[in-house]
Structure 1
Amino acid sequence: MMTTRRDFLQTSLLAGGALALPRAMRADPANSSARIVSTWDFGVSANQAAWQVIAKGGSALDAVEAGARWAESELCNPTVGRCGNPDRDGVLTLDASIMDGDGRCGAVAALQDIAHPVSVARRVMERTPHVLLVGEGAQQFAVQQGFPREELLTPEAEKAWREWLKTAQYQPRINAERTKVPGNKENHDTLGILALDAGGRLAGACTTSGMAWKMHGRVGDSPIIGAGLYVDNEVGAATASGVGEEMIRNAASFLVVELMRQGRSPAEACREAIDRVVRKRPEASRTLQVCFLAINKNGDVGAHALHKGFVYAMHDAGAGPHDKLHEAASVYATEQK
């Protein structure tokens, strides 16, 4: 019976079809609908780090923190964590949020010299009466909680910033990192990660270094609950990537979850949220990327993007040792080069 279920799951994953599993034996992750999804191709490794928690019977909350911490310390990508590109003043600032399905949440923004903003965000959630701490206050709190201060700006990121200073032109490009456009690394690829554990609980996290060469003090959607991340055990969870201002304008992740509450599938909810972005700013939508990824309480997964090129990774009990990447459907089929 176990073999049949796993064979079915693997076939469904490869086909990109419905992703719900039977709810039997939920205490055992290998025989449950436990599932982890995350944004972009580096989500594969983030999922694997998170799955180690789920495989031991851990919570969705612990799992998403583990996946985000992997990205912050091991990814070494110019868009997330210690290897992120700085702002226009050469300062590296980090943003992160975390949310449990019971409504608890925490976030930090414009945090400097602290390697794991997602864990600081969890401390905000668990040890303060607040949701969001920013700048010097966030750093002060992190140090008080025992997080060490350290220089995070890498020589490579500083070199890239000095090269950018020669023109100092700020023009985000669609999927710049994915298409390897030389000199156009303004587009950032947030890690958004969502988990459904063996007990049926949901959680999510976002972590990013934000837009490269942004104005000092700029904050995107990733640490804004309801914009870059929203989770509700009664319905599902959603996360976003792309140009954060659009997610903030539309309370986008909250919107996706509310559309699922009204009966849409994750894929339908993501598409409808994208359509709203297009209707509100049709001209801007041609020049920026917006991506949504969602999972409902049954384990069904869906995604949609404005432009071609957004991929997401998924890991579950039937996926075997390696995640599979899926490319999301898009409103505009031709990826901008």
Structure 2
Amino acid sequence: MIGKQVAHYTITEKIGAGGMGDVYRARDNKLGRDVALKVLPDAFAADPQRMARFKREAQILASLNLNHPNIAAIHGVEDTGDVRCLVLELVEGETLASLLERGAIPVDEALKIVVQIARALECAHEKGIIHRDLKPANVIVGADGGIKVLDFGLAKALADDTATTDSELATLSPTATRAGVILGTAAYMSPEQAKGKEVDRRADIWAFGVVLLELLTGRSIFRRETVSETMAAVLMTEPDLEELPRETPVAIRELLARCLRKDPTSRLRDIGDARIHIEEAKSGPERSAPAAPSVQATKAWWAFAAMTLIALALAWAPWRRSGPPDQPTLRFRQDPEDILNLIGGTALSLSRDGKYLAYVVRQGTDPNGRSI
């Protein structure tokens, strides 16, 4: 393909490959610019019905003119008979998938990336376009930190009715979702996609949450060895937010919990809300997960508690001393053979108010020690 002429484009090098076809750099000889040509697989291009649907969807996408700094533009479709391809904006940089091979991304940097993804999704959703295949491989980070989201809407344009196998986990080819048909990249599919149901913008919000969590943890949370196992994890496994770095703001933890609810009716409904949360987390005061108390703080607390107890004790002592003096203990001997007991009477009687005790004894001592 190198050096081949496709309409007024000259192919100069191959720059990528995937389930949607091979991608080449080409020179636009009319406008004097470089573009990307996504050449469709032969099996796809040979199907007249699929090709007609693809052209229709691609032309709609191009006409919508998603003019946004974070969206890679679709310029058009070319069909020269032997080559059928999409003409796309050429985006220079490194994919998020490639960056993640080196591990998790620091929180501040990750938030700068995902807020741009949210802006791209917000623009597309406002025009009624759902990405359907958002994943790290479809996001390119430029040298200046700016990002571009690729392949908006192409998942639907490239829809196929063929069954998915476990042979390829990275890309389910082709990738889209229609009623009863499971498409898309498994690890980033929403539960409703995995069930083959109709989807709306909330499927993109789910994928957005999965991507954000992967950036912060460095791990694809649902990815398993096979597609079927991966989809089972999407349907059955709850994401573990405890894996997030401690410095992750509370607002971002709460946002992830809302994005990753399996029931779409309970999920975050508008990606614009996610953008607002992220922008506030970036610009507002740091509010991370609560940290364990320091040794100094613990010692200070115990010192304060001890001083409080001492103060209470000192305040109580004078009050106790100012109370009524202790009364002497009265002692006497009650003879069980007392005549009163023998005749059924009583030798003791307590007044109704409880203040006085009347008693009869043969011998005893009064409070002053005198015999009675």
Q: Would the TM-score normalized by the shorter structure come out above 0.5?
A: no
- Structure with the largest fraction of strand: 1
Higher relative contact order (CA 8 A, sep 6+): 1
Q: TM-score of the superposition, structure 1-length normalised? A: 0.26
Larger radius of gyration: 2
